[in-house]
Amino acid sequence: MVENSTFPDVEVLRNHSAWNFYKPGAEGIANIEPTPSNAPSLLERVALLVNNGGQSLLSDAENSRVAQDELQFLSKAVRLVMESVEDKATHSQARFFEGLREIQEIVDEDIDSNVRDAFVAYATVKHFCHLNRLNWLVAGFAHDP
């Protein structure tokens, strides 16, 4: 299934409301204004990450900033999804926003201000995944501090 799916880069989809798939991998057309995209498939990207020993070409500080920016973007997207249900509030929405309130309480009491935003973004996405029975998989690298 993965081999025949499309995995466009998030940056390609920014400011577009649709993605037209035409070939497995990351080839398709992002729409508002058609914008061709030709990027490696998900399996090719994972292989490249493995072949590079998980190392990025960015510095540790740049990697951290990029990861936090992407996490914030994903967290905002998750919130927008939960806010966008048109009819009256669903049980899932109520549980989601109650969970966010609890996350904020934890953050206000126990989390260092240097990591507060990243923690809230991570917890928001993780909470959304839990409520919707989704597995959130992240490809990346780790090293000893």
Instruction: Please tell me the distance from the alpha carbon of residue 88 to that of residue 99, in angstroms, as a whole number.
Output: 19
The answer to pTM > 0.75 is no
Domain co-membership, 72 together with 113: yes
Give the domain range for residue 102: 54-131
In degrees, to the nearest 5, what angle opens at C-alpha 10 toward C-alphas 8 and 16?
90
Same domain, 13 and 71: no
Three-class DSSP category at 71: helix
Do 97 and 34 reside in the same domain of the chain? no
For residue 18, list its beta bridge partners. Answer: 31
Distance CA 72, CA 124 (A): 10
For residue 141, which of 42, 49, 7 has the smallest C-alpha distance? 49
Residue 70 belongs to some domain of the structure: yes
Tell me: do 72 and 126 sit in the same domain: yes
- Does residue 7 lie in a domain region? yes
Residues 29 and 85 in one domain: no
Rg (CA), the chain: 18
Q: What is the pLDDT of residues 64-123, one digit of tens each?
A: 677 788 889 999 999 998 888 766 668 888 899 999 999 999 888 877 777 888 889 999
The answer to whether residues 24 and 78 belong to one domain is no
